Structure 1
Amino acid sequence: MTAFATRPRPAEPHVTFQDFVASRPDEEKWELIEGCFVTQAQPSIDHQIISSNLDRLLNDALERTAPGRIAVPNPAIDLSPTIRGHTYVPDIAIIDLAEFEPGQNVVGTLYLAVEIISPSDRRRLSSLNRRKIDVKLAGYEALPMCEALLLVEQRAFDVTLSERTGSGWVRRRMTDPDDRLVIASAGLECRLGDVYARTTLARARR
C-alpha cells in the first residue's frame, strides 16, 4: 500500500468500518489499524502494474487448482474476532468465492495477502511505535485461515514469501528475476520477473 494521505483518525465506538467507508467518497481507500481509520494515497503506476500482474497470475492458477477461491484487488479484511479494531486492505487477497454477496466489501476469510511495499509502509505508527507493515503482517499471520503472505518491493526485484507450516511460518526472499516464485496454496509457479512484467524496472533491464 502507499503513503498516508491524512493523519489517522480514531474510530468512534458505534461506527463500523463498513459505515465509515460508506460515508466517504468512493475513490478513497481506508484501513482500520489499532482502532484508527487510516487513508491511503493514490498508488504509483508501477504499483498498479505489479498488482495487475499478480491478479492475473493468481487467478489463472486458481482456475486450475482451486476454483472455489478468487484473487481480488483491495478487498477489506476484517480481522475480528482474532484481533478487534483492525480491518486491512491488502493490494491483492485470495478469498473464498462463497463468502461474499452483492454489495459486500468486507470479508473475514483470507488465504493469501499481497502487500506491494512503498517507503511509507516502513514508517512507525505513533500509537504503537511499530512500522505499519509489521503491524499488518502480525495481524495477517494471526488469522487461522491465512496460508501465505507475499511482500513485493516496487523499486527492486525483491519479493518475500511467507508460508504457514505445521511448526510456524517459513520465509523465502527472492531477488533474481529468474528465481521461481512458487506459492503452493495458490497453485502458482512463475518467474519472479513475471511479477514485474512491463514495469519501469523490467523495461530498464532490456
Structure 2
Amino acid sequence: MTASLAELAPLDLHQSFQDFVAARPDGETWELVAGRFLMQAQPNINHQIIAGNLDRLLTNGIERLGLPRISLQNPAVDLRPALEGHIYVPDVAIIDAAEVEPGRNVVSACFLAAEIISPSDRRKPAGTKSRKIEIKLLGYEALPMCEAVLLVEQHAFDITLSERTGSDWARRRLTDPDDRLVIASAGLDCRLGDVYARTMLVRASR
C-alpha cells in the first residue's frame, strides 16, 4: 500500500459533492476520493452475496456483544474532520446506532469498514499516484473511531484484515477457507469460508 497523506487532503468539496449526488438519478453510487467525484460500478451477484453474508455475520456479532451499533450496506461516510475531500461508501460498515435518524443519508464515522474489491478499485484516480483501494484504506485508518478494515477479494478466498492496535494498525491476510476471521471489537468469529457462503467460488471448490 503506497497511498500518501498528500493524496488524502486535497480540497474541501463536501457540500458541492453532496449537492451533485442529490441531483443524480436513484440507483447511482458516488464517492468523493482525494477530491474527485468517482462513480461506483454496479456490483455483480457474487459481490452482493458477499456483502449480504458480511452484514449478517457482523449483525450477529454486534447483537451478541449488546453494542449500540448497527451493521448496514453502502452507507456514506464523511471523513471530516479527519480528512477533507473524502466521502466513502463502504460495501458494509458498522456505525453508531445514534446516527440512524429520519432523512439522514451521510454518517460521520464508522467502527468497521468492509470493501469488496472490484476492478475499478485497483485503478488510480486521475491526478493521484495510488490505487483507489489504497487511498481508501489509508483514509479509513485515519478515522479515530475506526477499529477494523476488511478488504475482500471476490474471486478467491482472500481477505486482508487491518485492525487497530493502540496507535498503530496490524494487517494480516487470510487465504484458507478454514482460517478463522476474528474481530473481537465486532463480536466476529467465523470461518473465512463463511464470508463466501453461497457464492460461485464455493460451488466451484466443491
Identity of aligned residues (%): 68
> What secondary structure sits across from 2:190 in the alignment?
strand
Q: In structure 2, do the counterparts of structure 1 residues 109 and 203 end up closer, same or farther at CA, with 3 Å as the change threshold? A: same
Q: In structure 2, do the counterparts of structure 1 residues 178 and 14 end up closer, same or farther at CA, with 3 Å as the change threshold? A: closer
TM-score by length of 2: 0.91
Q: How does 1:1-206 map to 2 (within 5 A)?
A: 15-206=15-206
- Give a deviation string over 1:6-45, Cα, whole Å, max 9, x none: xxxxx99584333222111110000011222111111110
Could you say what the CA RMSD is over the residues aligned between the two structures, in angstroms? 1.6
Q: What is the distance in 2 between the residues matched to 1:98 and 1:46?
A: 31
Which portions of structure 1, spanning 4 or more consecutive aligned residues, are displaced by more than 6 angstroms? none
Please state how far the C-alpha of 1:119 moved relative to its aligned partner. Answer: 2.5
In structure 1, runs of 5+ residues without a counterpart are: 1-10
In the alignment, is the contact (CA less than 8 A) between 1:18 and 1:106 conserved in 2? no
Q: In structure 2, do the counterparts of structure 1 residues 157 and 172 end up closer, same or farther at CA, with 3 Å as the change threshold? A: same
Structure holding more strand per residue: 1
Q: What is the distance in 2 between the residues matched to 1:14 and 1:83?
A: 11
Q: In structure 2, do the counterparts of structure 1 residues 136 and 15 end up closer, same or farther at CA, with 3 Å as the change threshold? A: same
Structure holding more helix per residue: 2
- Give a deviation string over 1:175-201, Cα, whole Å, max 9, x none: 000011001110100000000000000
In structure 2, runs of 5+ residues without a counterpart are: 1-10
Q: In structure 2, do the counterparts of structure 1 residues 73 and 14 end up closer, same or farther at CA, with 3 Å as the change threshold? A: closer
Please state how far the C-alpha of 1:120 moved relative to its aligned partner. Answer: 2.2
Q: What is the distance in 2 between the residues matched to 1:152 and 1:29?
A: 19
Q: What is the distance in 2 between the residues matched to 1:94 and 1:61?
A: 11
Q: What is the distance in 2 between the residues matched to 1:74 and 1:48?
A: 11
